[in-house]
Structure 1
Amino acid sequence: MKIQAEHVVSLTYDLYVTNQEGVEELVERTTEEQPLTFLFGAGQMLPKFEENLDGVGTGDTYDFKLTAEDAYGQHDPEAVASLPKEMFEGQEMPEVGNILPLQDNHGNRFQGQVVSVVEDAVIVDLNHPMAGQDLHFKGTILNVRPATPEELDHGHAHGPDGHHHH
């Protein structure tokens, strides 16, 4: 079956990014036992990721690259936040390199990586960890099936076989 909107796709992927030496490194991998399963066309995935898979079918392999602009955007040097140390009272002080789960005023969750800890604040980089990087995806389409009415209603897949997650 071919991938199209309102279908649930299960696939494996290897994600490569090019390191500073210009060599592609594997940074993420899914397996047939633990595939990526998503409702196609529901806006859960990067739009260009879906565009590249449109019309690909079960059992097909794929191999495509996304530029940083089509993936998580360029690295924004302005996207840093200074969090007052009082925020961390009563808990362990974060260290450089830690990833902190944060929430904005609208309740959107995101992550920031601690870049430095100064006298009265923790400085956090809010860029996506993959910002500024071209992504190279290779993988295999394991399964494509029409989404169930419940999945369409919920706007996400309920696993490779359509059974509800518990």
Structure 2
Amino acid sequence: MSDTNSSDNGIAITDNSAVILHFDLTLEDGTAADSTRVHDKPAKMVMGDGSLTPNFEDCLRGLKKGDKKAFTLAPEDAFGQPNPDNIYHVDKSKFSADMELQEGTIMGFSQPDGSELPGIIRSVAGHSVTVDFNHPLAGQTVVFNVEIIEVK
């Protein structure tokens, strides 16, 4: 019996592959952190373009269309360790008066170039608001469950 699908799923992920995949990202304790399945929008990435850590790329290398794999990444191989230089103390007057500032709230902060950078409110004390611009998953060991949709 011949396998008729072997020709369209035979390309393995290599250094310059364009990859479309679904992923479910959880913390070590099983807490869901992110998933492309929520809105059914697979992620698109190009191996070797610098957007992924080398260890993450190593975990994908060799996979083919239809493959599923789970792998655990240490903070250094995922979102890095928190950087104390990314924590700022902002005067409460910089926020609009009707804005509710609560610990754990993630909000966008306008950058000089017009882009927005997400920051997490860590504390509010008097007139000082502590904002953390580290990635929300910095310092976390994460588990990726990937399903390869397409490899070019």
Same fold (TM over 0.5): yes
Amino acid at match of 2:31: E
- Classify 1:107/1:54 alpha carbon distance in 2 versus 1 (closer, same or farther; 3 Å): farther
Equivalent pair of 1:11/1:37 in contact (CA under 8 Å): yes
Query: Match of 1:52?
Result: 59
Q: Which residue of 2 aligns with 1:126?
A: 133
Q: TM-score, normalised by structure 1?
A: 0.71
Q: Deviations over 1:28-72 (max 9, x none)?
A: 222394211122221222332112111211111222111112112
Are positions 1:140 and 2:150 aligned together? no
| Separation of aligned partners in 2, 1:30 and 1:123 | 30
Residues 97-123 of structure 1: CA distance to partner in whole angstroms, max 9, x if unpaired?
211223566877532211122222211
Match of 1:43, SS state, is coil
Contact 1:95/1:114 (<8 A) preserved: yes
CA distance in 1 between counterparts of 2:40 and 2:98 reads 37
**Aligned equivalents of 1:103 and 1:46: distance in 2?**
27
Kindly report the root-mean-square deviation, in angstroms, between the aligned alpha carbons of the 2 structures: 2.5
Q: Report sequence identity in percent.
A: 31
Which deviations, in whole Å up to 9, do the C-alpha atoms of 1:94-152 show, x marking residues without a partner?
A: 3222112235668775322111222222111222211111111112111011xxxxxxx
Q: Can you give the 5+ residue segments of structure 1 that lack an aligned partner in the other structure?
A: 146-166
Instruction: Tell which deviates more after alignment, 99-108 or 46-55.
Output: 99-108
Write the distance in 1 (CA, Å) between the matches of 2:123 and 2:148: 42
Aligned pair 1:8/2:15, yes or no?
A: no
Name structure 2 gaps, 5 residues minimum.
1-10
Kindly tell me: are residues 30 and 83 of structure 1, through their superposed partners in 2, closer, same or farther at Cα, counting changes over 3 Å? same
* SS in structure 2 of the partner of residue 86 of structure 1: helix
Query: What displacement does 1:2 show?
Result: 1.2
